[in-house]
Amino acid sequence: MTAVAAAAALGLSACGASEDPLAEETTDSGSSGGGGSIVVGGANFSESTLLAEIYAGALTGAGVDASTQTNIGSREVYLRALQDNSIQVFPEYTGALALYYDEDYDGTEPDEVYEHVQEVIPEEFTVLEPSDAEDNDSLNVTQETADEYGLSTISDLESVAGDLTLAAPPEFQERPQGVPGLEDTYGVTFGSFRPLTGQSIVQALANGQADVANIFSTDPSISENGFVTLEDDEKLFGSQNIVPLVRSDRAEEVQETLNEVSGLLTTEAIADMLKRTDIDKEDPRTVAQDFLDENGLSGS
Amino acid sequence: MIPSILEWFRDPMTWSGPGGVPTRLLEHLWYTVVTVVIAAAIAVPLGLWVGHTGRARWLVSVANSLRAVPTLGLLFAVSLVVGPYIPGDLAFTAPSIAVLVLLAIPPILAGTYAGIDAVDPSARDAAKGVGMRGRQVLWQVELPNALPLLLSGVKSAMLQVVATATIAAYLGLGGLGRYLIDGLAVSDIGEAAGGALLVGLLAIVLEGVLSLLQRRVVSPGLTGRTARGSQDGDDAPQAEAPADAPVDVRG
Amino acid sequence: MDWFLANWPRVIDLAGSHLYLSGVPLVVGLVLSVPLGWAAVRWRASYPAIITSSGLLYTIPSLALFIVMPLILGTRILDPFNVLAAMTVYTLALLVRTVADGLSAVPDHVEQAATAMGYGGLRRLFGVQLPLAVPVIASGLRVASVSNVSIVSVASLIGVSQLGDLLIDGYQRVIYGELLTGILACVVLALALDRLIVLGARLLTPWQTAGGGAA
């Protein structure tokens, strides 16, 4: 009931804004912080682009002048962009943020990780409400490999990992919840490590150039290729809830809208949308717009 | 930035193991040498043939337009299309090497062709005059005369390959590019910048070695210094000079 | 082809940015390389130092240069200016040598004749030496333009959009049409720039065609 009311209110304010966008902008820049329009950044993978489009669309729907700047390569670059005010909002992940600012952090409970993030990020950044939607690391094998070695959990890898090759993003090799964590928690040591990014990880597993691949859990290519995800039975991988990271001086303008978005995002919803962008090759903007329309966030 | 680079260079971990500098440096050198050797094996004979016979000059133009193909895109395309058909480690090395070879061919081809093309016609005539046959003219007159430009073509190819081999790390290739990509992935600017520095150093060393080689093998009558004074300069060709530069409008 | 037809406005848009990011540095680099190349020829002793060090700039991996640029310039990390500056560095790296070679290829007797006619210093450089060096400089410019178009695509990795976006997105989502469109658009752009330079050089050196026609 409240959601409907909020959506209606947002819709109203959007209409108000569209009547006189210039006036809106001037009052905006006159208020606290940097002022001006909001730019939502996105990293160079589909999910980040999709989330950026959803955030920006919802903000526009709420009468905020928002646009996106996607495909920013690495965390180092986009966090600097957030710092120098080139962008103001970025879709982030709780666990990844905690680790970025505290290299040795090994907490896994969602609430605990979120609280830790709030403590470690710089003062000029604020994390808004985390969503239930999660996109975690996951170790995957092909059906044949699973059958051959009888694998269903990561623990099952212990005795055979020495003969296997792991494909994962380069950072996985060094961080506590990556290769070192696999060794400490599971006693799993892979024969070799193949640093790859994005789609090439999926390709490597599908083509047999790697035996085990670290693929984001929402990636539709897992089911598309019939990969088997090994259960993280010892809970090594932390929580990676999707959370809007924003500049503190702009948090006030965006928090209501983005918290509402976070409330609506679920892992399933993300997975469905990614299937549309990655498997059906639909434009992320279209998919984001549909999500906003369905949830009454598009402001029309 | 500079302190973090120094810190990275001082870290003993930087220097040891499969991810250590010596290993990565050797890998990088290995990719570079393999690439340039393959490219030269293709481009030099082709350039000699085009230059000697004057046929199929369009080949040089085509090769030059190859430079316009974005390396990154080509790398992506080749690995997507070819990747599934190559087993094991080769699936990562082969596409990258293939793309780098493609990158190295144009400068070598252009250098070889320009070298032959720039041979003084009177020298060619004189050679024929003393009874040399086509093949002898090629090996004993044209090739030695073309050597300086041919080698500077090889040199610029090698420098390009050294620099570009770093992008291939994006697709899981080893070499010094790993420091750049991995350094960025874990936000270690020292590692990334240190890697870039090593690439530059390798380039300097290779450039020096090739220049030395150039001085060794090029006939003393042809070294740049003497040539620059004596030669009528206006046809001094560039190693990278595109093939279709002078257009004959006499038709 | 289908992909291109469905997305051509975006491709045109990206091609525009691509042209801007690779073209402007070409012009700036050319302007900057003239004094450097001239200095290398004028003071022979400086030749190896200038040529080698500018050539080495070309070996800096593009990704590294893009990321280090804001630290050097004090610009913001996503500022397209970082890419413009980095591309100018690469253009310079390729052109200084060409300008120097072009200038030193001007025959001594021509220079002496110019001096005898009262052409001195700058006037001789701009009135005689540079025009005569145009064909050589143009050939270097062609290489630089093609190389710029190729290198700029890497800027997608730091969030400055141009045709490289199509390459990365096409690869990440395995859309062959998009990947191919990106590659072909780069090639078309490079060839167009190349033709433009050839044409420009021909207009600047009327005596080359005129001489041919008279003979």
Contact between B247 and C198 under an 8 Å Cβ cutoff? The reply is no
Options 3.30.70.2740, 3.40.1050.10, 3.30.565.10, 1.10.3720.10; which CATH number does B31-176 get?
1.10.3720.10
- pLDDT band of B71, cuts 50, 70, 90: confident
Q: For residues B103 and B1, give the distance between their C-alpha atoms in angstroms, rounded to a whole number.
A: 32
Q: A152-170 pLDDT, tens per residue?
A: 999 999 999 999 999 998 8
Contact, A266 vs A133, CB < 8 A?
A: yes
Q: Of B14 and A187, which is predicted with more confidence?
A: A187
pLDDT for the residue numbered A27: 35
User: Which three-class secondary structure state does DSSP give residue A139?
Assistant: strand
- Counting Cα atoms < 13 Å in the Cβ hemisphere of B228 gives 13
Nearest chain B residue to C151, by CA: B70
The answer on pLDDT for B102 being more than 80 is yes
> For residues A12-40, b (16+ Cβ closer than 10 Å) or e, as one string?
ebbeebeeeeeebeeebeeeebeeeebbb
The helix (H) or strand (E) run that includes residue A183 is none
**Sorting pLDDT into bands at 50, 70 and 90, what band is C27?**
very high
Other residues' Cβ atoms within 10 Å of the Cβ of residue A219: 25
More confident position, B54 or C4:
C4
| Mean pLDDT confidence for B86-115 | 85
Least confident among A17-21, B207-211, C147-151: A17-21
CA torsion through residues C118, C123, C129, C133, sign: negative
Average pLDDT over every residue of C99-122: 80
Residue B124, both tokens? 């060619």
Task: Kindly state the DSSP code that residue B1 receives in the 8-state scheme.
Answer: -
**What is the CATH classification number for the domain harbouring C87?**
1.10.3720.10
Preferred mutation among C158, C166, C178, C181 to probe A, highest tally of A CBs within 10 A:
C158
| Best CA proximity match to C134, nearest among C85, C204, C32 | C204
Our CA-based measurement puts residue A54 at a distance from the nearest CA of chain B, in whole angstroms, of 26
Preferred mutation among C143, C149, C157, C168 to probe B, highest tally of B CBs within 10 A: C143
Full strand arrangement of the beta sheet holding A125-127: A66-72, A38-43, A89-93, A242-247, A125-127
How would residue B250 be classed by pLDDT, with cut points 50, 70 and 90?
very low
C48 touches chain B (CB under 8 A): no
Q: Which fold has domain A2-135+239-294?
A: D-Maltodextrin-Binding Protein; domain 2 (3.40.190)
Secondary structure class of B221 (helix, strand, coil): helix
Q: Which tokens is B226 given?
A: 């003497």
Q: Measure the CA–CA gap between A271 and A138, rounded to whole angstroms.
A: 14
Q: At what angle do helices B189-217 and C62-73 cross, to 10 degrees?
A: 120
**Whole-number mean pLDDT of chain A?**
85
Helices (H), chain A: 2-19, 21-30, 46-61, 75-83, 94-101, 110-120, 143-149, 179-181, 199-206, 221-224, 251-264, 267-274, 284-294
CA distance A289 to A55: 10
Question: Which pLDDT belongs to residue A115?
Answer: 95
pLDDT at C147 over 60: yes
Residues A85-143: pLDDT tens digits?
989 999 999 988 998 888 788 788 899 999 999 999 999 999 999 999 999 889 999 99
Tell me how far CA of residue C182 lies from CA of A259, B71, B97, C3, C193, in angstroms. 37, 11, 21, 11, 17
Chain B residues near residue A195 by CB distance under 8 angstroms: 169, 172, 178, 181-182
In a domain, C215, yes or no: no
The three state secondary structure string of C26-49 is HHHHHHHHHHHHHHHHHCHHHHHH
What pairing do the DSSP bridges indicate for beta strands A89-93 and A125-127? unpaired
Identify the pLDDT of residue C184. Answer: 92
* Domain residue ranges in chain A: 2-135+239-294, 139-229
Which comes out higher in pLDDT, residue C153 or C48? C153
Q: Tell me, rounded to whole angstroms, the distance of Cα A154 from its chain centroid.
A: 23
How many Å lie between the alpha carbon of A194 and the closest alpha carbon of chain B?
6
Residues of B in contact with A206 (CB under 8 A): 84
pLDDT tier at A54, thresholds 50, 70, 90 = very high
Angle between helices A2-19 and A21-30 (to 10 degrees): 100
CA-only gyration radius of chain B, Å = 21
State whether B182 and A170 contact (CB < 8 Å).
Answer: yes
What is the 3 state secondary structure string of A237-251? Answer: CCCCEEEEEEEHHHH
Q: Is the dihedral of CA A156, A162, A164, A169 positive or negative?
A: positive
3-state secondary structure of B166: coil
For C39, residues 6+ apart whose C-beta sits below 8 A from its C-beta are C46, C50
Q: Is B241 on the interface with C (CB under 8 A)?
A: yes
- Residue C209 pLDDT: 61
- Under an 8 A CB cutoff, do C56 and B67 touch? no
> Does residue B239 contact residue B152 with C-beta atoms inside 8 Å?
yes
* Mean of pLDDT values over B124-153: 83
d(CA C83, CA C102): 28
Q: Does C11 touch chain B (CB under 8 A)?
A: no
pLDDT tens for each residue of A218-277: 999 898 899 999 999 988 888 899 999 999 999 999 999 999 999 999 999 999 999 999
* Residue C123 resides in a domain: yes
pLDDT over 80 (residue B189): no
Phi, psi of A164 (to 5 degrees): -110, 155
Q: How near does any CA of chain A get to the CA of C138, in Å?
A: 35
Tell me which amino acid residue C138 is.
Answer: A
Pair of tokens at residue A130: 């985390």
Asked if the Cβ–Cβ distance from C159 to A81 is below 8 Å, we say: yes
Confidence of residue A35 (pLDDT cuts 50, 70, 90): low
Paired tokens of B175: 């070499």
Q: A8 or B129: whose pLDDT is higher?
A: B129
Q: What is the pLDDT of residue B243?
A: 34
Q: Is the pLDDT of residue A190 over 90?
A: yes
pLDDT, position A11: 37
SS (H, E, C) B53-92: HCCCCHHHHHHHHHCCCCHHHHHHHHHHHHHHHCCCCHHH
Provide the Cα torsion B234, B238, B244, B249; round to 10°: 0
For residue A149, give the nearest of A75, A70, A212, A243 by alpha carbon.
A212
- Partners of A209 on chain B (C-beta within 8 Å) are 83, 87-89, 91-92
In the block, tokens 């046809």 appear at B235
Rounded CA-CA distance C110/C112 in Å is 5
Residue A50 pLDDT class (50, 70, 90 cuts): very high
Do domains A2-135+239-294 and A139-229 share one topology? The answer is yes
Nearest to B236 among C60, C101, C150 (CB): C101
Tell me the CATH class for A139-229. Answer: alpha beta
Widest CA span of chain C, in angstroms? 67
Report CA-CA distances (Å) from B188 to A235, B31, B66, C66: 28, 25, 35, 16
| Contacts with B245 from chain C: Cβ below 8 Å | 135, 139
Say which DSSP state C125 is in: I
Residue B8: predicted pLDDT: 84
Cβ A139 vs Cβ A214: under 8 Å: yes
* Domain ranges, residue C51: 2-210
pLDDT of residue B223: 54
| Lowest mean pLDDT across A56-65, A86-95, B105-114, B139-148 | B139-148
* Number of structural domains in chain C: 1
C-beta atoms surrounding A289 within 10 Å: 17
Å from C9 to nearest chain B CA?
20
β partners of residue A72: A43, C158
Find tokens 């700047």 and name the residue: A69
Can you give the pLDDT at residue C98?
A: 86
Q: Is C182 on the interface with B (CB under 8 A)?
A: yes
Average of per-residue pLDDT across C95-122: 81
What backbone torsions phi and psi does residue B62 show, to the nearest 5 degrees? Answer: -60, -45
Local structure of residue A153 (DSSP, 8 states): B
Percent of the residues in chain A that have a pLDDT greater than 90, as a whole number: 58
**pLDDT at residue A261, as a whole number:** 95
Phi, psi of B196, rounded to the nearest 5 degrees: -60, -40
Tokens of A51: 């989330």
More confident residue, B42 or B5: B42
Task: Pick the closest to residue A84 from C100, C71, C182, B158 (CA basis).
Answer: C71
Cβ contacts of B1 on chain C, cutoff 8 Å? 68, 71
> Residue C154 domain-assigned?
yes
Q: What is the pTM of this model?
A: 0.78
Q: Which of B33, B114, B98, B41 is nearest to B66 (CA)?
A: B98
Which stretches of chain B sit within 8 Å of chain A by CB? 79-80, 83-84, 87-89, 91-92, 169-172, 178, 181-182, 184-187, 189
Torsion sign, CA atoms B181, B175, C80, C153: negative
The complex's ipTM works out to 0.75
Q: What is the Cα gyration radius of chain A?
A: 20
Cβ atoms of B118 and B146 closer than 8 Å: yes
Out of A82-96, B7-21, B148-162, C89-103, least confident range: B7-21
Cα–Cα distance for residue pair C4/C48, rounded to 1 Å: 48
